Amino acid sequence: MKVLVINCGSSSLKYQLIDMENESVLAKGICERIGAEGSVLTHKPAGKDKFVTEQPMPDHSVAVKLVIDALQDPEHGVIESADEITAIGHRVLHAGTVYSDATLVTEDVKKVVRDCFDLGPLHNPANLIGIEACEKAMPGKPNVAVFDTAFGMNMPQKAAMYAIPYEYYEKYSIRRYGFHGTSHMFVSGETVKLLGKDDAKVIVCHIGNGASISASIGGKCVDTSMGLTPLEGLIMGTRSGDVDPAVLQFICNHEHISVDEMLNILNKKSGLLGLSGVSSDLRDVVKAAGEENERAKLALEAYVYRIVKYIGAYAAAMNGVDAIVFTAGVGENSVPIRENVCKSLGYLGVELDKKKNENVSGDTAIISSDDSKVKVIVLPTNEELAIARETVKLV
Ligand SMILES: Nc1ncnc2c1ncn2[C@@H]1O[C@H](COP(=O)(O)OP(=O)(O)O)[C@@H](O)[C@H]1O
Ligand SMILES: CC(=O)OP(=O)(O)O
Ligand SMILES: [Mg+2]
């Protein structure tokens, strides 16, 4: 059975075609800069050279079409026809309290995803376009929605509730949901297996462009840093993470902007980009800091500091921690971020092995010293495989 997994982000589309007989990736790739100048598709068929093409992609539906064409291309394709695809699994950000377990896409599911646009303004619209483009391009094939909220949905009430009048929870289900759930579930589950300890206390730092951190015991969520929307918590590429809500009122009043405009600023112009003034991409900020750009240095210090604070809070929440795991674009690749985070964790009994940290090569690696009380691990996330597994269960 071949499953196509589609992960639509705000300006990108990541995909994998997976043969579920042996979970081998037949092809994977990414469409970047969707909706902007210079859209590009990078397609990597297994065992063949990668194929890169710059093509206009005004929206995600065009990107889906290009992906399906690339998969069937006589030269760099891996299937003869889209008929070979049994089902499509989609990462979907938010469906409130209505759906959080993986489900077959129906008209009602699409309606709920649409109703939640304001809770996931960067993701939900793209997710829905991705689903509808697949329905159109491959009529009759089952589409499965795998929700980013599945992991956080089960956190205890004391962690999920905001201390605001209870009626807003009753009326509108205003609570903390948490996101990157597919990743936190996959990575914490793999860590429990790696440690061989069923009740392992694990902190997962999913640090990519979006970033969140979770605490779990035996793979079950205790707490996670994103809230009602993916804006709460860590400092991200363009998102502020935690701010005093009174900041919104002050800036709206003084700059004469609406709350919607302010939220757009917190989502798209803040974080590493806003603080450094350089870029939302960590690599650019690290480079600028190396060239003595003071704001870039400050942005990095604040970025690391926020992660350190959350790790401390989550170790306290679980009354201990067995492993701290780094994953996603930054977590898997940035030697200095991992090193600087671990520098402040000596009090927990964390001892990083500098050499091991520098020699991580794309696979799972333990980067703490043999004597470290807490294991520090780099474990590549695989949201696409986890989504494909959920998809298979439903078709
Ligand atoms: N080699 C690297 N070193 C440091 N950071 C990296 C490296 N590769 C990617 N990143 C960071 O990872 C981020 C993207 O992470 P990713 O998990 O792909 O994010 P998302 O899924 O949210 O788009 C980039 O913005 C970049 O800052
Ligand atoms: C939830 C979220 O922030 O996702 P991403 O990192 O893909 O933007
Ligand atoms: Mg991601």
369 Cα–ligand 1 center, Å: 26
DSSP 298-359: HHHHHHHHHHHHHHHHHHHHTTS-SEEEEEHHHHHH-HHHHHHHHHTTGGGTB-B-HHHHHT
The helix (run of H) or strand (run of E) holding residue 373 is none
237 Cα–ligand 1 center, Å: 9
Cα 37–Cα 39–Cα 41 angle in degrees, nearest 5: 170
Which residue's entry shows tokens 């009326």?
A: 171
Are 43 and 32 in contact by the 8 Å Cβ rule? The answer is no
389 annotated as ligand-binding: no
Find residue 87's DSSP bridge partners: 3
Residue ID of nearest Cα to ligand 2 atom 3: 210
Burial of 359 (0-12, 13-18, 19+ CB in 10 A): exposed
Tell me which ligand sits closest to the C-alpha of residue 178: 2
Q: Is the beta carbon of 208 within 6 A of some atom in ligand 1?
A: yes
Q: Which atom, in ligand 1's list, is nearest to the CA of 381?
A: 17
Q: Which residues of 288-313 are buried (b: 16+ CB within 10 A; e: fewer)?
A: bbeeebeebbebbeebbebbeebbbe
210 annotated as ligand-binding: yes
Q: What phi, psi does 381 have (nearest 5°)?
A: -75, 160
Q: What is the DSSP letter of 84?
A: G
Annotated catalytic residue within 118, 148, 260, 370: 148
Residue 264 pLDDT: 95
Q: How far apart are the first and last CA of the chain?
A: 10
Q: Is the beta carbon of 227 within 6 A of some atom in ligand 2?
A: no
Residue in 92, 307, 118 with CA at minimum distance from that of residue 206 = 307
Pocket test for ligand 1, best of 334, 339, 361 (most atoms within 8 A of CB): 334
Residue 36 pLDDT: 86
pLDDT values of the chain reduced to their tens digit, one per residue, 395 residues: 999 999 998 788 999 999 999 999 999 999 998 988 899 999 999 999 999 999 999 999 999 999 999 999 999 999 999 999 999 999 999 999 999 999 999 999 999 999 999 999 889 999 999 999 999 999 999 999 999 999 999 999 999 999 999 999 999 999 999 999 999 999 999 999 999 999 999 999 999 999 999 999 999 999 999 999 999 999 999 999 999 999 999 999 999 999 999 999 999 999 999 999 999 999 999 999 999 999 999 999 999 999 999 999 999 999 999 999 999 999 999 999 999 999 999 999 999 999 999 999 999 999 999 999 999 999 999 999 999 999 999 99
Q: Which atom, in ligand 2's list, is nearest to the CA of 148?
A: 1
Residue 37 pLDDT: 87
Are 88 and 137 in contact by the 8 Å Cβ rule? The answer is no
Are 104 and 143 in contact by the 8 Å Cβ rule? The answer is yes
Q: Which atom, in ligand 2's list, is nearest to the CA of 180?
A: 1
Cα 125–Cα 385–Cα 182 angle in degrees, nearest 5: 55
76 annotated as ligand-binding: no
152 Cα–ligand 1 center, Å: 23
Q: What phi, psi does 226 have (nearest 5°)?
A: -85, 160
Residue ID of nearest Cα to ligand 1 atom 12: 329
Q: Which atom, in ligand 2's list, is nearest to the CA of 91?
A: 7
Cα 370–Cα 371–Cα 377 angle in degrees, nearest 5: 55
Residue 219 pLDDT: 98
Pocket test for ligand 1, best of 333, 340, 384 (most atoms within 8 A of CB): 333
Residue 253 tokens read as 């009043």
Q: How far apart are CA 191 and CA 219, in angstroms?
A: 8
172 Cα–ligand 3 center, Å: 27
Residue ID of nearest Cα to ligand 2 atom 4: 210
Are 227 and 176 in contact by the 8 Å Cβ rule? The answer is yes
**148 belongs to the catalytic site:** yes
Per-chain residues with Cβ under 5 A from ion ligand 3: 208
Residue 117 tokens read as 């646009």
Q: What is the CA radius of gyration of the chain?
A: 21
Q: How far apart are CA 335 and CA 315, in angstroms?
A: 23
Q: What phi, psi does 31 have (nearest 5°)?
A: -100, 125
Find residue 7's DSSP bridge partners: 14
Residue 268 pLDDT: 92
Q: Is the beta carbon of 328 within 6 A of some atom in ligand 1?
A: yes
Q: How far apart are CA 294 and CA 322, in angstroms?
A: 36
Pocket test for ligand 1, best of 279, 282, 286, 360 (most atoms within 8 A of CB): 282
Q: How far apart are CA 46 and CA 50, in angstroms?
A: 9
Q: Is the beta carbon of 383 within 6 A of some atom in ligand 2?
A: no
14 annotated as ligand-binding: yes
154 Cα–ligand 3 center, Å: 21
CA dihedral (127, 129, 134, 139) positive or negative: positive
Q: Is the beta carbon of 184 within 6 A of some atom in ligand 2?
A: no
The helix (run of H) or strand (run of E) holding residue 49 is none
